[in-house]
Structures are given as structure tokens and as C-alpha cells.
Amino acid sequence: MALGLVVVEAAQRSGSLISARLAGEMGRLVFAVPGSPLDPRAAGSNGLLKDGATLVTEAADILSALAPLAGTRPPRTAPLAEAPDLSALPPPGENERADVLEALGPTPVGVDEIIRHTGLSAAQIAMVLLELDLAGRLERHAGGNVSLVA
């Protein structure tokens, strides 16, 4: 079901290490994020690195290692030559603002979900969210989620 397993943090005796062992036995790539050698919560992931797990410091590390297995090209690491021209997009109107407000509520929701729900462009959603944020009506949460201020 997966080409690899990433262990972000694991104690010396943890279920994450069992999963990593099983993934290795099934021929899957095992990745590990290094942690402080003084932190006991990172002893397991640091041990995996000592045992040959692939070091991960960013998502591109995983994508590059999995690209040959998935039959795709490694991700592009160079920045885009020029940013897309967003000035051609019309600014959000009252209907678009109403659609975004309808998609928001007191429960945090991801911006991607708002884009899917409204069908608006990411630039238009960002503009409406910025307006709401500046007006003090938007609350930002972990993971890039947003909600209306109660």
C-alpha cells in the first residue's frame, strides 16, 4: 500500500519502531527524521538512522527517494523562473465573499477545503481570508486551518 515509511519521532521502545521493522522486512524504504541525542523521544528514530534509514529533513528528501520506485521524475528543486500573473484574476466580489463565509464556521477548516467547496481560485480565497483576518473575524489554527471568530 505504501512505498515507504517515515518515522518522525520514536522512543527506544515504541510501536513506530515495530512499524519500521515490518516495513523494512516487506522491502519498503524506511525514512527517519533526526532528533536531539539528548531527547529520549528521538532515541528510536536516531537509532534507525544509525541502522541505515534514509535521513529526512524535508519532504523533497522523500519524494526524491521514492521517484524511481513510483516511476516518476524527482521533484523540481529550482524555483520557478517567474511567478504567475495573478493580476488578471478579478478581485473577489460580494458573491465570492458570501461563499467563503458560508464555507467557514466556528470549527477549523483547511483552506484547501474552502477552495474545493467554493470553486474559487486560491488567490481569491486568500484575499477574502486576509480581509476577514484584518477585520478581526478570522482565527488561524495549527496546520493552516481557519475558522470564524465566535
Same domain? 57 vs 10? yes
Same domain? 53 vs 110? no
**All three cell numbers of 123:** 488567490
Residue 87 located in a structural domain: no
Total domains in the chain come to: 2
Q: Which amino acid is at 77?
A: T
Residue entry with cell 515509511: 5
Task: Output the CA torsion sign for 128, 133, 137, 138.
Answer: positive
Q: Which structural domain range is residue 125 located in?
A: 94-148
**All three cell numbers of 126:** 486568500
Tell me the C-alpha distance between 58 and 103, whole Å.
Answer: 32
Tell me the C-alpha distance between 43 and 35, whole Å.
Answer: 8
Domain end marker among 34, 55, 70: 70
- The confidence score (pLDDT) of residue 53 equals 92
Q: Are strands 145-148 and 109-110 parallel, antiparallel or unpaired?
A: antiparallel
- The confidence score (pLDDT) of residue 80 equals 58
Q: Decide: pTM greater than 0.85.
A: no
Tell me the C-alpha distance between 114 and 74, whole Å.
Answer: 30
Same domain? 12 vs 52? yes
Tell me the C-alpha distance between 60 and 63, whole Å.
Answer: 5
* Predicted confidence pLDDT, tens digits, the chain (150 residues): 688 999 999 999 999 999 999 999 998 999 999 999 999 999 999 999 999 999 999 988 888 888 887 776 665 666 656 666 666 677 788 998 999 999 999 999 999 999 988 988 888 899 999 999 999 999 998 888 999 997
Residue 78 located in a structural domain: no
Tell me the C-alpha distance between 44 and 102, whole Å.
Answer: 45
- The confidence score (pLDDT) of residue 138 equals 93
We report the CATH number of the domain holding residue 98 as 1.10.10.10
* DSSP state letter for 31: E
We report the CATH number of the domain holding residue 38 as 3.40.50
